[in-house]
Structure formats: C-alpha cells, structure tokens
Amino acid sequence: MRLDNDASKSSQSPSRNFPNGSSQASGPKSPAGKGSNGEAYRSTESNGSYTNGGPVANGGSVPSTFFGHDREEVTRILIQSLTDLGYHSAAGALCKESGFQLEGPTVASFRSAVLNGDWDQAEVLLFGSTTYDTEGGVGLDASYGKPWGKARSRPSSHHSGGLTLAEIANRDEMLFWMKQQKYLELLERRDLNKALAVLRQELTPLHHDVGRLHALSSLIMCQSADDLRHQAQWDGAQGESRMHLLSDLSRSISPRIMIPEHRLSVLLNEVKDGWIANCLYHNTAASPSLYLDHNCERDDFPTKAVLDLKHHKDEVWFVQYSNDGTKLASTSKDMTIIIYETTTYKVLHHLQDHRDSGVVHVAWSPDDTKIITCCSQPENSARIWDVKTGACIQRISDFTYPCTTAAWAPSGRQVIIGSQDDKIGCGIWDVDGHEVHNFCEDGGKLRANDLAVSPDGQRLVIVTDSSILVFDFTSYEKIAEFQVDDVKLTSVSISQDSRHMLVSMNEDQIKLMEIDTGDVIQRFEAHTQKQFIIRSAFGGADENFVVSGSEDSRIYIWRSNGLLIEALDAHPGCVNSIAWHPKDPGTFASAGDDKKVKIWKPLSALPIPSAGGSSNGYGR
C-alpha cells in the first residue's frame, strides 16, 4: 500500500514514584572478594562481633570447595533459600551441621531496626558510630620560661562498628534512602513538625538527588495519609516499603556480610535468562524446567502457512486480531473489511460501507465490541462498527485528505484518528462522533502516517514522514519530538510494558526505541522497504520477537536482540502487515498484495478445522 500524501513540555506525567533506590533484580556485580575500602573480604563483621563457623560435617572437616565453588558461599545461600522456602528446621539443621550461619548478630539487628522503623539505631548499625574525646589535663609547653598551664583541648574522633559496604556503595545515597523513609513515615503519622525538621536538617544537607528532594518537599502539602500514599506512590509504613528499603540497602552491603535477598532465585533466573537468550525459537511464557538444559525446536515455531483466506478481491493492506484473540479483521484495497472468527476462520462479517475508497487500517476497541476503520480518497473518513451486528454506527468525516490510522483510548469511549490532513492530522473523538481534541489546534501542522497509544494509557506516539511525536495522553501536552533525517517513517507499535516503540521506516529499517528519550535500543535489518507502507510488530510469547512484512514477498522474524531467525516466503508482491495472535504465541496472520490473508502455525500444530479457506493440507 502506498501512502498518498501529495494531494495538494511541561508534561503531566504519571505521579512520581519514590522507590528506595535501585530497582535492579540482582545484587551488585562488584569484583569478587573486595569491600568498599579495597581490602579483601573476611568472614567477620567489621565490628568484630561475629565470625562464621568452619567447614565441618558430621564432626569431620570437609573440602573448602564444592565442585569448584566456595563451600561457605554455597552453604549460606542454601540456608537463605531454605528459609525463603519456609523450611526453617532444615535451615537450622544445615547451620548446625555445617558450622556456618546465614548472618551475624549485627546484621540481624540492622534488619530488625529497619523493619521496625528504628532509624537512628539502623544508621548506627549500618555506618557505625563516631565518638569525640577532648582529653583535657595539664600540658607541658615546649617553650622554656613559660609556666605550667592547662593545655588547649584538642578533640580526637574514634570511629567504630558499622557493616562492610560493597565496593559500589554510595554512603550518602543509602543515608538518603533511610531518611526519606523516616520523613515519609512522619508525614504519614501527620507529625509535620518532625517531618519538616528531617527534611531541613537531615535530608537537605546530604545534597543528594535535588529533584527528588523538591518532590519530597511538596508532599508536606498532602491533606491526609491517604493523599500522601497516593501522591508518593508509596504504600506506607505498614505496607512493603520497609522491606523494599531493606532490599535496596542490602545491595550496597558486602555480600559476605549480608547476602543479597533471594540469591538462589536470582542465580537460577540468570541461568534461565541465559538459556532463553541462546534459544533461537523460544516462544513460551512458561518458565523453563531446571531439570534439563532448555532448547525450543523450530518445528514448534510458526513457520508454515496452514490456511489461505481468499475472500478479498484486491490487495490486503492490514490485519489485526481482537484483544481476546477470538476474531481477526482484515482491510483491503477492495474497499471492504472482513471479520473472521479464529477457530475455523469462518467469515462473520463482510463490511462494505466504505464507498470507492480502499480501507487502510483497523483497530479493535478494548472490549472487542467495536472496531474503527480508516479509508483513503475520495471518502477520507473513519467509521466505527458494531462487531456483533456488523452495522456501521458512526462515520467521522472531518477530513479532506486520507485517514491513515486510528487507535482506541483505554476507556473505550474515545478514538484517536490520524490523517494526511495537516489541519487535523491527529485528533480525538468520542464514539458519538464529537471532536474532543485536535493536536493541530495550536497552529502546528502534522500529517500522521501512524499512531499508537501505550497500554498503560499514558503516552500517545505519532509518526509523520520525518518525526516522532510523543504526547502525554492524559494532558495532551507534547513531551518530546524526535527528528529522523533521510528516511520516511511508516508505522509504530508500542510494547506491552509501555516503555518501547517499534518504528518502521524507508529504506529498509526498523528501530526499537525508548519512548520518552528516543534512544535507539536495537536495529532490525534484512527486509526490503523502499516505496510502500510495510508494518512491523512485536510478537510471540513475552514479545520475544519482532516481525515485519517486506517488498520482496517475505516475512522476516527477528529475536528481540536483533538476530534474524526466519525469512519466510509468503505472498507474491508485498507483504503489507503481520499480526501475531495475542493469546496463542504459535499463530500469526499475514496480509499481502496477492489478495490473501494467510494463517501461520508450527509444523507440529494440529490441523485447523475446515472452514471457507484453503487449508494447504492442514484442514482438508
């Protein structure tokens, strides 16, 4: 399909989150055996109050290594894991038999202080204490001829205690996290005077994270504890906030002193992540079994066209599954839309109200009860349809140039329509056809080639020929605009985590980008896209894949890391659009210039029950 367009911040962002530090899942990867002072780790707490046992078993000594791993590390991680699993007696038995303990008394006291909100005690246990000794007395002056007298007091400091920190630890940051929690809890208790004192006398002097400090200061205006928790996106002292704080602090403490939380689980996740990263055809959301090394077979990946749907009379330009996967809609140059059910791919509706205009796009409402379609010249309109009856229930015809794309607001009560009409290149309408907002009303002009709303409802992304515009969808304010030179942008999709966008562009490029920054994370290359609208999409289980049509008659599939794994012969002419089934990662649909919609499944898949299509040997 050719795009015919030659027919002549202050952002209201989501509420600021106040995590107590990093959100990384695993512990810090600091050099093995090093503490924050560069000295080798020892098996003692830094205040000398605790020493781990030695490697003993059944009264006799055992090797210090276990299949090449440090025996103490393995044993202590097992003790922690048994405790996590709820096997406390077994954990105690392992401590007794091995002579190793999970953690010493100072760590245990620190843990208790944090979880009980005893912030002064927690600070002393974590960082130690400093005492000053003025040591007065009679001093002997070095000069002759001067009388004995009282010496001037010279205070000396002595630092004691504290836990050994990891090499990457930032003491001020850790202190900020604890005092932030202290401040929020005082606000929650409505002890505003003490909270203000903590803000001014304890948080501000740290000169750490000034932006967050300003945000924290604004919380003093909250009218209630509920308002505070909502504004701070914080669950309060009785929630999980203290546990999250302890988890964040533990990552900055030497792992020899305080093992990072759930360490065995983290290690197992890293093993599984490695398996998945090296598994070309990994296409399941299920966690791999630990009993055997993981590998997915190509025969279980959708590489075979098992059904040809031949109901259109001209090029098929777009396909999209419903959100629940029970239906599939296709649009065509033949001016029609076809809705299929997806058990047998029987035709449910053949919609033909678009007159003399090819249909370029379709989007499903969040509840799948309606669709919106967009058409080209001469109609230049968008239509909303009732999926159950097949009736057109609204026509929006405010445009003088082709409508190119549309999406639904998460509420299902509004639609966003993009067009080549630069006076209303993107706007919002309610389902009754009334205009709600025009993104060009401030005098700016844009012609939308494609658009997408993030699943969380926070962002609207619009692509024009040479720019990507990002709007806060709740306030309609523009957050960012990214210029892309020497290319023509054709399509955009947003990931399920609402953080990334997949942008297709001529010539022969697809880029995975951060929505708010425009940073390019990954590039996908090999397909052909020079003249026409070719759409790319996320696909597979957990969006492990990127898929795109191509002008060379093929479907290209990449791992999300950019590795090309398949180039499938598909449709003579252009492959215009691909839609991956939202509930069945082993199925996707493609649309081509050969007037067909094709359904793809694994070689090992069961046949599709016979319907009106050609089954390629599967259903007949």
**What is the percent of the chain where pLDDT is above 90?**
75
Residue 453, SS3 per DSSP? strand
Residue 299, SS3 per DSSP? helix
> Angle at CA 74, nearest 5°, toward 70 and 78?
170
- Is 158 among the domain residues? yes
Number of domains into which the chain is organized: 1
- Is 244 among the domain residues? yes
**57: pLDDT strictly greater than 50:** yes
- Is 170 among the domain residues? yes
**337: pLDDT strictly greater than 90:** yes
- Is 238 among the domain residues? yes
Q: How far apart are CA 609 and CA 603, in angstroms?
A: 16
**612: pLDDT strictly greater than 90:** no
**53: pLDDT strictly greater than 90:** no
**13: pLDDT strictly greater than 80:** no
Q: What is the pTM of this model?
A: 0.75
- Is 213 among the domain residues? yes
SS3 of 78-121? HHHHHHHHCCHHHHHHHHHHHCCCCCCHHHHHHHHHHHHCCHHH
- Is 526 among the domain residues? no
Q: What is the pLDDT of residues 203-241, one digit of tens each?
A: 999 999 899 999 999 999 999 999 999 999 999 999 999
- Is 85 among the domain residues? yes
Lowest-confidence region among 71-75, 340-344, 485-489: 485-489
154 against 84, higher pLDDT? 84
SS3 of 183-218? HHHHHHCCCHHHHHHHHHHHHHHHCCCHHHHHHHHH
**275: pLDDT strictly greater than 50:** yes
- Look up the domain containing 124 and give its range: 56-134+154-268
DSSP state of 340: E
The secondary element (H helix, E strand) that includes residue 580 is strand 575-580
Main-chain dihedrals φ then ψ at residue 244, nearest 5 degrees? -65, -40
Q: How far apart are CA 321 and CA 362, in angstroms?
A: 10
**162: pLDDT strictly greater than 60:** yes
User: Maximum CA pair distance of the chain?
Assistant: 120
422 falls in which pLDDT band (50, 70, 90)?
confident
> Helix H segments across 225-371?
225-232, 241-250, 263-277
Q: What is the pLDDT of residues 351-398, one digit of tens each?
A: 998 888 999 999 999 999 999 999 999 999 999 999 999 999 999 999
Residue 73, SS3 per DSSP? helix
